Amino acid sequence: MLKSNKTLRKLMAAKVSTPKSRATIIDIARVAGVSKSTVSLVLQGSSLVRKETRETVQNVIEQLGYVYNRSAAGLRQAKSDFAGIVIGDLSNPFFSELAAGIEEVLAGYNMLPVLANANEDPVQQANAIRALREHGVAGIVLSPARGTTAWTISESFPKGLPVVVAMCVVDDCPFPYVGPDNISGFLQATGHLIELGHRSIAFLGGDNSFAVQKERIEGWRKAHRDVGLVADDRLIINSAPSRQGGAEAMEIALSHPQKPTAAVCHNDVVALGASRLLHESGLSVGRDFSIVGFDDIAEAAYAFPPLTTVSVGTRNMGMEAAKRLVQLIKGEAVDSRKFLGETKLIVRQSTGPCKV
């Protein structure tokens, strides 16, 4: 309850003269009969303010409809409760799982994520980063869009802003990196198909604008070399890293002179699109043609048939990236070496023995 008729009259006058969206700390202090610093202490939840005074100020705040701008307060104190997450392509469910891992760690430090989608466009990515900087985020986790270079990253970030790059490695990038061991993952995926008797194995999806493409193709090649085979580069079929891209790549593979009997895919959504094309072509996935994905998104286990894939521990990758970002924000030393997470082949029903 407000304690006096004088305060009540001030409140009524203030409500008439001050629209809710424009109420300020000065208005609250004037109506409550306290100093601006007292109002600030109440807003910050300080125990230094007497209970009676705090209740008076809180009542005035409620009546005037004042909303505390924590972001602005953080900027004034040279800190922020917000961290940015810039994702190359949020249409891929893999990145939703990555963001969930980042958010889990940030929540433990009472920080809130602000998520932005670059839509695989470096220009849109730069605009998103600029907007986050203007709103004073404490740091940013960046999973780069296709075509991102070390130069474009350095142009986007001012010196001193904590940044961690996740999942998509960028050559010569100066920031800490967290991502999967792509070479090991595709070595396992391709090796699994070779053990099943396949010798004509395509690589479907992605292209050289993806920073990880070189590493994934190297894993595909190494699996062939390790058993004395030569990988056929004509079976590297580029496409968008999407379901549609996977379907288009598989259509090309089926009409190829060196018709493959199996394929490893740039990611799971490419594999799912390729599987659908096979089904529509009257072929049985896992019997007539074997497919391996990469990422182990939640949908992979529920596909028809369930998708053999490589798990990269997506949520754990997000958590690791967030931990490093928090260390940077707190001014702690961070290991500058690349953090390569363990990959693990998950065998399901989309792969089977070669029939040729």
**80-180+314-341: CATH superfamily:** Response regulator (3.40.50.2300)
Q: Consecutive 10-residue runs of the chain (356 residues): their mean pLDDT?
A: 51 47 79 87 81 90 74 52 92 91 93 92 92 90 90 83 91 90 97 98 92 93 97 96 96 93 97 97 97 96 96 94 94 85 97 92
91-116 pLDDT, tens digit per residue, is 889 999 999 999 999 999 989 999 99
Please check whether the domain covering 182-313 is classified as CATH 3.40.50.2300. yes
Same fold, 80-180+314-341 and 182-313: yes
Hey, where are the domains in the chain? 5-68, 80-180+314-341, 182-313
> pTM of this prediction?
0.76
Residues listed for the chain:
356
List CB contacts of 118: < 8 A, sequence separation 6 or more.
Answer: 86, 87, 88, 89, 124, 125, 128, 144, 145
Run of H or E including 104: helix 93-108
Strand duo 163-166 + 140-143: pairing: parallel
Strand partners, 1: none
Stretch (H or E) spanning 346: strand 344-346
Alpha carbon distance 60, 83 (integer Å)? 32
Residues facing residue 285 across a β-bridge:
289
Question: CA end-to-end span of the chain, whole Å?
Answer: 84
Q: What is the pLDDT of residue 356?
A: 77
CATH topology of domain 5-68: 434 Repressor (Amino-terminal Domain) (1.10.260)
